């Protein structure tokens, strides 16, 4: 998955989550995040940054067919997040033996979701590595 695809996926997840929250299908962002196994801070961040946080509760009996279809599509989009988590693309970093890394890419920390939900590499090759890289110092004699 390319970075553009990851950003697109994240934008679709955000749009679906906000739609379900605005229609009061889920009362709180935490409820929605737990239901679809999304990171709670991410959904809270999305909800906090919406200009208009007013909810429009619509009883189930008064749903128009278009609204029902949109709710179903939004729920399916968020349900697909589980599949995205399970079947993530391979890292593909070139190893020292000439092969490509087969590990799956990492899911970013909630703070980095503005770059997309999925990183480009696995944990060991730069997805969420915490190692401090030291620069080589050249000594002059």
Residue 107 lies in a domain: no
Residue 105 lies in a domain: no
Q: Which pLDDT does position 95 carry in this prediction?
A: 85
Q: Note down the domain range covering 80.
A: 3-87
Residue 41 lies in a domain: yes
Q: Which pLDDT does position 54 carry in this prediction?
A: 83
Q: Which pLDDT does position 16 carry in this prediction?
A: 94
How many Cα atoms are found within 13 Å in the side-chain-facing hemisphere of 94? Answer: 1
Residue 131 lies in a domain: no
Q: Which pLDDT does position 3 carry in this prediction?
A: 67
Residue 108 lies in a domain: no
Label residue 43 left, alpha or beta by phi (over 0 means left) and psi (-120 to 50 means alpha): alpha
Residue 22 lies in a domain: yes
d(CA 43, CA 14): 8
Q: State how many domains the chain has.
A: 1
Cβ within 8 Å of residue 125, ≥6 positions away: 91, 93, 101, 103
Q: Which pLDDT does position 15 carry in this prediction?
A: 93
Low-confidence residues in the chain, pLDDT < 70: 1-3, 127-141
Give CA 38 to chain center in angstroms.
Answer: 7
pLDDT tens, residue by residue, 108-125: 887 788 888 888 888 888
**Helices (DSSP H) in the chain: which residue ranges?**
3-22, 29-35, 40-48, 65-86
Residue 67 lies in a domain: yes
Residue 38 lies in a domain: yes
| Torsion over CA: 103, 121, 29, 61 (sign) | negative
């Amino acid at each position: 998955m390319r970075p553009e695809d990851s950003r697109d996926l994240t934008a679709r997840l955000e749009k679906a989550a906000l739609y379900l929250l605005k229609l009061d299908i889920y009362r709180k962002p935490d409820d929605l995040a737990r239901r679809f196994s999304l990171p709670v801070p991410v959904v809270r961040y999305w909800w906090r940054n919406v200009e208009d946080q007013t909810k429009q509760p619509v009883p189930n009996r008064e749903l128009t067919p278009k609204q029902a279809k949109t709710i179903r599509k939004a729920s399916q989009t968020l349900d697909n997040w589980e599949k995205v988590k399970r079947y993530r693309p391979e890292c593909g970093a070139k190893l020292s033996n000439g092969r490509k890394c087969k590990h799956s890419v990492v899911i970013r920390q909630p703070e980095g979701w503005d770059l997309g939900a999925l990183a480009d590499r696995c944990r060991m090759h730069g997805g969420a590595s915490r190692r401090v890289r030291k620069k080589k110092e050249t000594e002059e004699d």
